[in-house]
Amino acid sequence: SAVISQKPSRDICQRGTSLTIQCQVDSQVTMMFWYRQQPGQSLTLIATANQGSEATYESGFVIDKFPISRPNLTFSTLTVSNMSPEDSSIYLCSVVMATQAFFGQGTRLTVV
Protein backbone atom coordinates (compact mmCIF):
# COMPACT_ATOMS: atom_id res chain seq x y z
CA SER A 1 0.00 0.00 0.00
CA ALA A 2 0.98 3.65 -0.20
CA VAL A 3 0.62 6.49 2.26
CA ILE A 4 0.09 9.87 0.67
CA SER A 5 0.48 13.10 2.60
CA GLN A 6 -1.22 16.04 0.99
CA LYS A 7 -1.16 19.62 2.19
CA PRO A 8 -2.70 21.98 2.84
CA SER A 9 -5.87 20.17 3.84
CA ARG A 10 -7.90 23.31 3.19
CA ASP A 11 -7.45 26.94 2.31
CA ILE A 12 -9.48 30.03 1.60
CA CYS A 13 -7.91 32.21 -1.06
CA GLN A 14 -8.58 35.55 -2.69
CA ARG A 15 -9.43 35.59 -6.36
CA GLY A 16 -6.48 36.31 -8.61
CA THR A 17 -3.97 34.62 -6.31
CA SER A 18 -2.33 31.21 -6.65
CA LEU A 19 -2.14 28.19 -4.36
CA THR A 20 0.38 25.36 -4.48
CA ILE A 21 -0.69 21.95 -3.21
CA GLN A 22 1.95 19.42 -2.20
CA CYS A 23 1.77 15.66 -2.31
CA GLN A 24 4.33 13.35 -0.69
CA VAL A 25 4.25 9.57 -1.16
CA ASP A 26 6.02 7.08 1.07
CA SER A 27 7.08 4.96 -1.93
CA GLN A 28 8.66 5.70 -5.27
CA VAL A 29 6.08 5.80 -8.03
CA THR A 30 6.43 6.51 -11.71
CA MET A 31 3.20 8.40 -12.20
CA MET A 32 1.18 10.63 -9.93
CA PHE A 33 -2.27 11.85 -10.79
CA TRP A 34 -4.05 15.06 -9.89
CA TYR A 35 -7.84 15.17 -9.70
CA ARG A 36 -10.43 17.84 -9.12
CA GLN A 37 -13.74 17.18 -7.43
CA GLN A 38 -16.21 20.00 -7.74
CA PRO A 39 -19.01 20.26 -5.18
CA GLY A 40 -21.43 17.38 -5.48
CA GLN A 41 -19.57 15.81 -8.38
CA SER A 42 -17.22 12.91 -8.98
CA LEU A 43 -13.49 13.07 -9.61
CA THR A 44 -12.14 14.54 -12.83
CA LEU A 45 -8.54 13.90 -13.84
CA ILE A 46 -6.56 17.11 -14.33
CA ALA A 47 -3.19 15.71 -15.35
CA THR A 48 -0.71 12.89 -15.03
CA ALA A 49 2.70 13.82 -13.62
CA ASN A 50 5.75 11.83 -14.64
CA GLN A 51 9.11 12.35 -13.04
CA GLY A 52 11.55 14.06 -15.37
CA SER A 53 9.05 15.09 -18.02
CA GLU A 54 6.21 17.50 -18.54
CA ALA A 55 2.84 16.58 -17.17
CA THR A 56 0.14 15.31 -19.50
CA TYR A 57 -3.05 17.36 -19.23
CA GLU A 58 -6.58 16.20 -19.87
CA SER A 59 -8.96 18.02 -22.15
CA GLY A 60 -10.11 21.25 -20.57
CA PHE A 61 -7.05 21.70 -18.36
CA VAL A 62 -3.95 23.70 -19.35
CA ILE A 63 -0.49 24.06 -17.95
CA ASP A 64 -0.73 27.82 -17.50
CA LYS A 65 -3.67 27.38 -15.15
CA PHE A 66 -2.48 24.21 -13.38
CA PRO A 67 1.30 24.01 -13.50
CA ILE A 68 2.66 20.79 -12.05
CA SER A 69 6.09 19.90 -10.76
CA ARG A 70 7.48 16.41 -10.29
CA PRO A 71 11.05 16.79 -9.04
CA ASN A 72 11.45 13.19 -7.86
CA LEU A 73 9.64 9.86 -7.59
CA THR A 74 7.97 10.62 -4.26
CA PHE A 75 6.82 14.23 -4.56
CA SER A 76 4.64 16.44 -6.75
CA THR A 77 3.00 19.82 -6.58
CA LEU A 78 -0.05 21.25 -8.31
CA THR A 79 -0.52 25.01 -8.50
CA VAL A 80 -3.92 26.55 -9.09
CA SER A 81 -3.12 29.87 -10.73
CA ASN A 82 -5.04 33.13 -10.99
CA MET A 83 -7.90 31.63 -9.03
CA SER A 84 -11.55 32.43 -9.49
CA PRO A 85 -14.56 31.22 -7.48
CA GLU A 86 -15.10 28.51 -10.11
CA ASP A 87 -11.86 26.91 -8.92
CA SER A 88 -13.43 26.16 -5.54
CA SER A 89 -13.14 22.38 -5.34
CA ILE A 90 -11.40 19.53 -3.62
CA TYR A 91 -8.07 18.71 -5.25
CA LEU A 92 -6.68 15.22 -4.82
CA CYS A 93 -3.44 13.51 -5.69
CA SER A 94 -3.32 9.81 -6.40
CA VAL A 95 -0.90 7.03 -7.19
CA VAL A 96 -1.44 3.63 -8.74
CA MET A 97 0.68 0.80 -7.36
CA ALA A 98 0.27 -2.58 -8.99
CA THR A 99 -3.48 -2.44 -9.56
CA GLN A 100 -4.46 -0.44 -6.51
CA ALA A 101 -5.03 3.29 -6.51
CA PHE A 102 -4.46 5.39 -3.41
CA PHE A 103 -5.48 8.95 -2.68
CA GLY A 104 -4.31 11.79 -0.53
CA GLN A 105 -6.70 13.35 1.97
CA GLY A 106 -7.55 16.11 -0.46
CA THR A 107 -7.22 19.88 -0.38
CA ARG A 108 -10.47 21.76 0.02
CA LEU A 109 -10.04 25.07 -1.77
CA THR A 110 -12.47 27.95 -1.42
CA VAL A 111 -11.91 31.03 -3.57
CA VAL A 112 -13.58 34.22 -2.42
Partner 1 sequence: EDQVTQSPEALRLQEGESSSLNCSYTVSGLRGLFWYRQDPGKGPEFLFTLYSAGEEKEKERLKATLTKKESFLHITAPKPEDSATYLCAVLETSGSRLTFGEGTQLTVNP
Distance CA 22, CA 100 (A): 21
Query: Closest Cα partner for 10 from 110, 108, 112?
Result: 108
Paired strand residues for 43: 37
Nearer to partner 1 among residue 42 and residue 53 (C-beta): 42
20 contacts partner 1 (rule: CB under 8 A): no
Taking CB under 8 A as the rule, does residue 104 contact partner 1?
Answer: yes
> Which residues within the stretch 41-70 sit at the binding site for partner 1 (CB under 8 A)?
41-45, 48
**Which residues sit at the interface with partner 1, rule CB under 8 A?**
6, 31, 33, 41-45, 48, 90, 92, 94, 96, 99-106, 108
